[in-house]
Chains A and B, each alone.
Chain A
Amino acid sequence: MTLIHLAILLPIIAAVIVGLSKKYSKRIHTGWLVLPVPLLIVIYFLTLIPDVNRHDVLYHSMNVMPNIGLNFDVYVDGLGLLFAILISGIGALVVLYSIGYLSHREDLTSFYIYLLIFMTAMLGVVLNDNVLGLYLFWELTSISSFLLIAFWYNRERSLYGATKSMLITMGGGFLMLGGFLSLYLITGSFSIREMIAQVDLIQASELAPIAIVLILLGAFTKSAQFPFYIWLPDAMEAPTPVSAYLHSATMVKAGLYLVARFTPIFAFSELWVWLILLTGLITLAWASFNAVKQDDLKAMLAFSTVSQLGLIMSLLGLGALGVHTGAAEELFTVAIVAAVFHLINHATFKGALFMLVGIIDHESGTRSLKRLGGLMTIMPITGTMTAITAASMAGLPPFNGFLSKEMFLEVMVNIRHADFSFLSDVSILFPILAVFGSIFTFIYSVILFKEVFLGKETEDTPKTPHEAPWLMLASPLILSLLVIVFGLFPNILSQTIIDPAAMGILGTTTALDTQIYHWHGFDSPALWLTVFIIVSGTLLYMTRHHWMFIYEYHKEHFTLNYLYDRGLVYSRISSKQLNDKFVNGNVSHYLAYVLGFFVIVSIYTFIVNGMAIDIRTASPITLQEMIVVTIILIALAGILVVKSRMVALILLGSIGFSMALLFVMFRSADLGLTQLAIETVTTTIFLLVFSKLPDKESYKYSVKLNIPHLIISVGVALTAIIIGYSAYSNRLFDPISQFHIDNVYDLAAGGNMVNVILVDFRGFDTLFETLVFAIAGLGVYSMMRLRLNTKKEGDDHEEHIDESRL
């Protein structure tokens, strides 16, 4: 346990304290108690920056379950540290914001407990070196996300969104675990660092493509990539601080983290590069195209988040391409730098935008674009900040989004220089998709600001809008300031945070010495692309009423959401059908499954392993014994076919008495005596019960032959016979009976061995058996007395039997 471990676990410890102090925190908003936690953590991680830049190895192991390889091993490099700072930094701002956003009436204790659990989980994901530990924390983020989306659990949409997000992200996480296990099969280690060290083994392995696909499925579901993005818009049912934190700044970036972390391992693979690059670009284009049609501001931001995640994803794919080819490394390290830079920028401007939309929602009571308008005069501060952050999102200078967007465009254009499978043949596709996505990003950024703040006041809002209190404005203000500062002075980040993170992704220790410039000269293609995006975006925005109809062609039956909903419905229906078929409340069905399973397993075992029958030692057969056996068989056949229960009872009695005879013939006098007594009593009870049961409730109807039951019964008989023979033939141990025979007089001073075993050697056994018997007697008695008030035979029988067996 080191300070880093403690930093990861601090939020969850705080969660326990928050939970316990519920009673005492009535007078103060719980958020104030929680706020110091992320603040402390972010300060601690900021102090680690110099260490990481000196390439000190910050690796600390902590055994949890070493036998299965599950350890809590923290490893801090530039990449992990960047994420840790983002998580705790945005976390602090979100907690501050939530103090204004959530009123005392809400269930604040639960809210902050979930939020703190998430913080620990997310820090655990990004600072873990052990993939099993990473997986556990990964799923914990899904769980806390589920709880937070369903925070207003009496709303149906919240539950729907929460379930959807959990099914998709946890399903993906589970597949990812499969990927980790395949990596373990290849390398024999759960440590990411050791996997990187054994990259040659992974390259040579046939399992590698499986591991790649499974791990990418985990990353794509978590980071809401096409076609798994459908959960993110529905996750917007969560309170806005949660959307800003989990569903834009941190949790959805876990997939990006995973891809970045595994880049040194998988960059060799064409599959890896293609999948990431294409998925990222398609997500970017598709989601930004869809964002424009949204009416709900948060839904628009959700689609925007999806598309920005796609942008970063595609950059990571290109970065892997750089590692793959090696030749054009210069070109593609820029992609990694751009990815890291945009990751930071996105966290700032999108976090701020979510908080601002939350403010609009909070103060006006609606998030619908149709009902909002002309708020600039009423909410000037919110409006200004929205303008700044939306401009950054659109990629306008001089804000930080412009810088990373330019880098992105430049890399996409430079893709044609790559010497990689048939990439150069289709290289024109990538800038087109990138520009397409960027144009629509520009359009919705404009809509976001212009439709809400400019134009005429609609006076259609549920509440009369007014400027938010400073408590709510503080967090977006800080983020907006960061947008400007990072935009104007990007190089305060480049060497301190971006380079170490990029080096962590590339797995090198050679310094990158990144410098970020605003101006690349007139011959820079990115500049002209930016101009083109702004011009065509403006034109499309002006003429949008003429082309928005294309969204109408988007038929409901062809959407992914429809697929998800139908899939869910059908899986419910079919599982119910399956359940009703097999769990139908019919006891004999269940018994048939049990017996059938037992028969199949035993017969299979005997077929596979074979069996040896050794019957040389069998004792001779006598005529009397055969006569008794024949009687039993005849009586048995009779019971199966007779239609009268009285006849069946007589036959049952004859089997019992024949058994007593057999016992006597087999030199077991005590057994014979007991059997005789018991059989008599059993028959008596049967008769008594029959006298109370009307005969019309006969059992004639069930005498009909039932073929499946017959097959199962024959199977049971065969199995019993086979097991009997092989057990008889193959003795594994010497019987312990000789001990009893030798010591029966010396130790117990008795002559009748069976009796001595019962009352002496196994005395306790018999004592408890009597107890069982007494309980049965009580059961019989109470079942009779409860209503019928007639019999006391139950008790009498019991004493009767106890005497008779002694």
Chain B
Amino acid sequence: MELITIILAGILMGAAAYLMLSKNLIRIIFGTAIFSHGVHLMFLTMGELKRGAVPVLDENVEAYADPLPQALILTAIVIAFALTAIILVLALRIYKELGTNDIEKMKGDPYAD
């Protein structure tokens, strides 16, 4: 399964990179959200998958899945959410101020003044 999740994570990151390279701010935000999915999946895979039970202490269980990547990913999910939220609102605000979500139109003319 690790083989497949690594490839899936790679594809997620590649697709996210493609989205992030586009001009539209909404697509860029989609890209960052998808990128974090890819990273989380990669991270989880690095801790090896399905090597034991859910990491909740139990007398009868011999082996647990690796809890450390899970804890880290949990943090990462929340931070990724905060990031998505703030850039979404930023995009909204930018649209209100500049009337566009096209980052090429936002830059203006650097030699204007």
Contacts and interface: CB of A to CB of B under 8 A. Distances in A.
A591 B21 contact: yes
B86 A668 contact: no
Interface stretch (A126-134, A212-220, A781-789): A781-789
B21 A720 contact: no
A482 interface: no
Nearest to A722: B10
B20 A797 contact: no
Contacts of A595: 17, 21
B93 to A, nearest CB: 5
Contacts of B46: 724, 727-728
A758 B74 contact: yes
B77 A674 contact: yes
Interface stretch (A174-182, A364-372, A527-535, A702-710): A702-710
B22 to A, nearest CB: 5
A773 B107 contact: no
A667 B52 contact: yes
A753 interface: yes
A94 B40 CA distance: 73
B37 A655 contact: yes
A740 B6 contact: no
A462 interface: no
Contacts of A689: 88-89, 91-92
Contacts of A720: 9-10, 13-14, 38, 42
Contact of A728 (B10, B21, B45, B73): B45
A171 B30 CA distance: 50
A377 interface: no
Contacts of B92: 689, 692-693, 783
A766 B72 CA distance: 10
A48 interface: no
A619 B93 contact: no
Interface string A748-763: 0011111001100010
A713 B4 contact: no
Given A618-B2, A776-B82, A724 B71 contact: no
A585 to B, nearest CB: 4
Contacts of A591: 20-21
A655 B33 CA distance: 10
A747 interface: no
Interface in B55-113: 55-58, 64-68, 70-71, 73-75, 77-86, 88-93, 95-96, 100-104, 107-108, 110
Contacts of A633: 8, 11
Interface in A601-630: 615, 617-622, 625-626, 629
Scoring B11, B53, B73 by chain A CB atoms within 10 A of each residue's CB, the highest score goes to B11
Contacts of A685: 84-85, 88-89
A701 to B, nearest CB: 8
A702 B45 contact: no
Contact of B88 (A622, A686, A773): A686
A582 interface: no
Interface in A646-697: 648, 652, 655-656, 659, 662-663, 665-671, 674-675, 678, 681-682, 685-686, 689, 692-693, 697
A652 B30 contact: yes
Contacts of B71: 753-754, 757-758, 762
Scoring A685, A728, A736, A777 by chain B CB atoms within 10 A of each residue's CB, the highest score goes to A728
Given A662-B41, A678-B81, A619 B49 contact: yes
Given A693-B101, A754-B55, A754-B70, A639 B19 contact: yes
Contacts of B102: 702
A204 to B, nearest CB: 56
B74 A754 contact: yes
Contacts of B9: 720-721, 724
B95 A625 contact: no
B17 A780 contact: no
B12 A636 contact: yes
B2 A615 contact: yes
A728 B46 CA distance: 6
B81 to A, nearest CB: 5
B67 A587 contact: no
A620 B45 CA distance: 13
A408 B40 CA distance: 82
B33 A667 contact: no
Nearest to B109: A585
Interface residues of B, number: 84
Nearest to A618: B2
Nearest to B38: A720
A104 interface: no
A375 B16 CA distance: 83
Given A632-B8, A682-B81, A757-B68, A670 B19 contact: no
A797 B78 CA distance: 11
Contacts of A709: 18, 21-22
A744 interface: yes
A735 B66 contact: yes
A632 B4 CA distance: 12
Contacts of A718: 10, 14
A776 B83 contact: yes
A737 B67 contact: yes
A724 B101 CA distance: 34
Given A776-B82, A776-B83, A666 B50 contact: yes
Given A682-B33, A706-B22, A737-B68, A671 B73 contact: yes
A794 interface: yes
Given A586-B107, A728-B2, A712 B21 contact: yes
Nearest to B52: A667
Contacts of B14: 713-718, 720
A621 B70 CA distance: 20
A460 interface: no
A775 B99 CA distance: 27
B84 A682 contact: yes
A152 B79 CA distance: 57
A663 B110 contact: no
A585 B47 contact: no
A772 B79 CA distance: 8
A671 B45 CA distance: 14
Given A618-B3, A780-B85, A769 B79 contact: yes
A652 B31 CA distance: 10
B85 A794 contact: yes
A697 B100 contact: yes
Nearest to A788: B96
B55 A615 contact: no
A511 interface: no
Nearest to A625: B1
A666 B46 CA distance: 12
Nearest to B21: A709
A615 B3 contact: yes
B67 A740 contact: yes
CB-CB nearest 3 A-B residue pairs: A717-B14, A721-B10, A753-B67
9 contacts: A585-B108, A588-B103, A678-B81, A685-B88, A713-B14, A720-B13, A780-B86, A784-B93, A787-B93
Interface of B: 1-15, 17-24, 26-27, 30, 33-34, 37-38, 40-42, 44-58, 64-68, 70-71, 73-75, 77-86, 88-93, 95-96, 100-104, 107-108, 110
Given A619-B50, A715-B14, A765-B75, 5 more contacts: A620-B1, A706-B22, A713-B14, A720-B42, A721-B9
